[in-house]
Copies of this chain bind each other. A is one copy, B any other.
Amino acid sequence: MFFRTNQFQYNAKPTKPDPIFAKQLQEVLGGQWGEISVMMTYLFQGWNCRAAPKYRDLIMDTGTEEIAHVEMLATMIARLLETSPVDVQENAAKNSAIGAVLGGSRMEDVLVAGMNPQHAIVSGLGATPTDSNGYPWNSRYTVASGNLMADFRFNVTAESQGRLQVCRLYEMTDDPGVRDMLSFLIARDTMHQNQWLAAISELEEDGVEGPLVPTSFPVENQKSDVAYQFMNFSGGEESKEGRWAKGPSIDGMGEFEYVAEPRAMGEVVEEMNPADPLMHGTPKKPIQPQST
């Protein structure tokens, strides 16, 4: 069960309105790698967790924190839309945007054209659970597989892509209030990258997972002779120089091998068998229209 306090985890106040940046900032709220994605990912990983309690608690602690991040971003975006569009839209009411085309030169209207139109028409100058192109958030941005090694690797990825995007947004604004909030989110992403990497170590130390996912699948059931071969399918052999092409494998169970000219191991592609004629697909030979 959840409770909410009436205070933000950190400041969420811009110095001045900025409808264009409001649109861009949506990416880390409702985009593929935004805060809604990590919030929902962690909550579902926690609710589905069948491993030791420390892992479940770790996940739920973090998932609950992320709700507060979603809250800060939504509030920031609503405030970035707060004042400026009033003026701009009032002008828009008096002078249509097309005025600029036909001879006008009013920069305000041009910028209105750069806003997310749904910030005006749909949300009435509030945040929306969508990305920077207005594409709605969907749950295919999340994962909870039941295998914590696979999922913690996803979590490291999500915090990496997320921190990368917040840093890019930091470079795209010079509003001190916005940058203050972003510096907090960047720091928390630093912690979260570190934390999931630490949790991966812990899984291995506990002996419940190894570096190869899933560890519990019997290795004798895989086609072992191709399990450590790097195959050169693209022009150029620069890839031969990398760590992945020679030396012991990372999982400690094999030796990397570079295959300069990979060969096909399967059958020559033969003709497919015909399908049920009631499917009315194209046959190999001419047919007569059938009767029933």
Contacts and interface: CB of A to CB of B under 8 A. Distances in A.
Size bracket, chain A contacts: 35 or more
Contacts of A40: 129
A141 B232 CA distance: 25
A266 B8 contact: yes
A243 B199 contact: yes
B127 A48 contact: yes
Given A273-B83, A282-B209, A136 B140 contact: yes
B191 A234 contact: no
Contacts of A236: 6, 53, 57, 60
A122 B147 CA distance: 10
Given A97-B173, A121-B165, A171-B278, 11 more contacts: A12-B266, A48-B127, A51-B283, A64-B234, A125-B275, A131-B134, A136-B138, A149-B160, A164-B280, A208-B287, A217-B280
30 contacts: A1-B9, A6-B269, A8-B269, A19-B98, A32-B140, A44-B126, A50-B275, A58-B239, A86-B278, A89-B276, A93-B172, A96-B175, A117-B133, A121-B172, A124-B147, A130-B139, A136-B138, A150-B161, A163-B212, A163-B217, A164-B280, A187-B225, A187-B226, A190-B251, A191-B230, A193-B251, A195-B230, A201-B243, A202-B242, A202-B244
